[in-house]
Amino acid sequence: MSGHGTPIPMSSHRSATLNGTAEVPGDKSISHRSLILGALSVGETVITGLLEGQDVLDTAKAMQAMGAEVVRDDDGTWRVHGVGVGGFAEPDQVIDCGNSGTGVRLIMGAMATSPIAATFTGDASLNKRPMARVTDPLALFGAQAVGRSGGRLPMTIVGAHDPLPVRYTVPVPSAQVKSAVLLAGLNAPGQTVVIEHEATRDHTERMLAGFGAEITTEDTDEGRVITLTGQPELTPQTIAVPRDPSSAAFPVCAALITEGSDVLVPNIGLNPTRAGLFTTLREMGADLSYENEREEGGEPVADLRARFSPDMKGIEVPPERAASMIDEYPVLSVVAAFAEGQTVMRGVKELRVKESDRIEAMATGLRANGVEVEDGPDWWIVHGRGQGNVPGGATCASHLDHRIAMSFLVMGLASQSPVSVDDGGPIATSFPVFEPLMAALGADIRRG
């Protein structure tokens, strides 16, 4: 499990051109949800393209521990025999969700309205992250939570015996909180209503509808109002998981900053609640095109083509775009270092409670590599040095955070001196094939 193993130091070196096709793995958000909704259906859900990263494998194990049968065929197809809404068994061991905030928060929601207890833990990163944002609304259904001080894991949830439906306005822009409430609402009678002021990724809503739940979304003056009718019988599905835009971000950004590059990243999910980075890069002047745009499984999909873009300019990223690119700010800050002028990122307080404090982790590493960064509680500004002018040369701490490790390794491909990370191990949580995929494009990324 990531964070439990020996650190894997890695370094990244100035590379010639990156060329070729980068087939990134399946979407992490959709992979977790496929397993959980499969486990809550009656019958067999068949999943292809599942992300086989540690985060998702931990969710698969959790679903088994709660009574679902989860098997992987030799060809990489996953089959989930679900127990039905309200059918979870009480796990007889602690559920270890490793590094995954999405895994633990969604599973807590999914079990909170069943009459079982479960104890959750994670790695050193996950055990620092706030859980009250999920346990507060789960308490409204009648679930009880006892954890460490500050609402941290390890934590036991005792599910509600007679759950009540809930009307809840999500106080922070978080798809995990929204999803936990909706999944809890599945086993409550009547209508559960979730209101969000800023639209966050909507995979849970789309997939619940796909599994046959009655769910509606309305944009109102109050915000986005999502209404779910409880106690449906979910129908098992065949799911082809689209490739992850958050993983695509790494080869795309690497190509934009590495001289002469031309990289195709096919079949990327471009759900508008996820695609903010690509819009931002285009506004900065990136040579990034969408080819072969189409719909697959109800999600917009395209092939991304990224070419070396030496004339990118820093921009002010609109704060209202933050939720649609929340996981991509670390790698954006790397591209910003290679652009001319300032890139201003505001309204991003949530970055401080991810797998690491991502503003702190990136600002510290960028400064160590010769890039000026200003930061405050919910904002940061990267002062671009322009193509070819990023010094590099430092070792950065990845803080058990896959996206911090990958971002600095992207940076080293085009900086004057190599960039190192103290531990590339966490990359396996979301992008287990990052090293061979980048090497095949021509990236010089080494262990040690």
| Site string (326-365) toward ligand S3P, x via CB under 6 A | xx----------------------x---x-----------
| Segments of 151-286 assigned E as strands | 152-158, 167-169, 191-196, 215-220, 223-229, 238-240, 262-269
Please report whether residue 288 would count as binding ligand S3P according to CB under 6 A: no
CB of 19 to ligand S3P, least distance (A): 29
Please report whether residue 166 would count as binding ligand S3P according to CB under 6 A: no
Nearer to ligand S3P, 177 or 394 (CB): 177
- Pair 429, 402: CB distance under 8 Å: yes
| Residue 327 designated active-site | yes
| Site string (193-232) toward ligand S3P, x via CB under 6 A | --------x-------------------------------
Please report whether residue 175 would count as binding ligand S3P according to CB under 6 A: yes
- The C-alpha angle with vertex 427 and arms to 405 and 262, in degrees rounded to 5, equals 75
Q: How many helices (H) and strands (E) does the chain have?
A: 12, 24
Report the b/e string of 169-183 with b at 16+ CB within 10 A. Answer: ebeebbbbbbbbbbb
The residue count of the chain comes to 448
- The C-alpha angle with vertex 211 and arms to 137 and 303, in degrees rounded to 5, equals 100
List of residues 6+ apart from 100 with CB closer than 8 A: 32, 54, 55, 56, 58, 59, 122, 126, 429
Segment interacting with ligand S3P (CB under 6 A) among 3-11, 91-99, 169-177, 360-368? 169-177
CB of 38 to ligand S3P, least distance (A): 16
Nearer to ligand S3P, 183 or 254 (CB): 183
Interacting residue with ligand S3P among 125, 179, 247, 258 (CB under 6 A):
179
Nearer to ligand S3P, 116 or 240 (CB): 240
- Pair 1, 98: CB distance under 8 Å: yes
Categorise residue 327: left if φ over 0, alpha if ψ from -120 to 50, beta otherwise.
Answer: alpha
Preceding omega of 115 cis (within 30 degrees of 0): no
- Residue in the structure block whose two tokens are 């999914």: 110
196 DSSP β-pair partners: 224
Give me the catalytic one of 327, 375, 401, 423: 327
Total number of residues binding ligand S3P (CB under 6 A)? 11
CB of 51 to ligand S3P, least distance (A): 11
Interacting residue with ligand S3P among 29, 113, 398, 415 (CB under 6 A):
29
Segment interacting with ligand S3P (CB under 6 A) among 65-73, 77-85, 172-180, 224-232? 172-180
CB of 162 to ligand S3P, least distance (A): 28
Q: Where in the sequence numbering do the catalytic residues fall?
A: 327
Q: Which residues bind ligand S3P (CB under 6 A)?
A: 29, 102, 174-176, 179, 201, 326-327, 350, 354
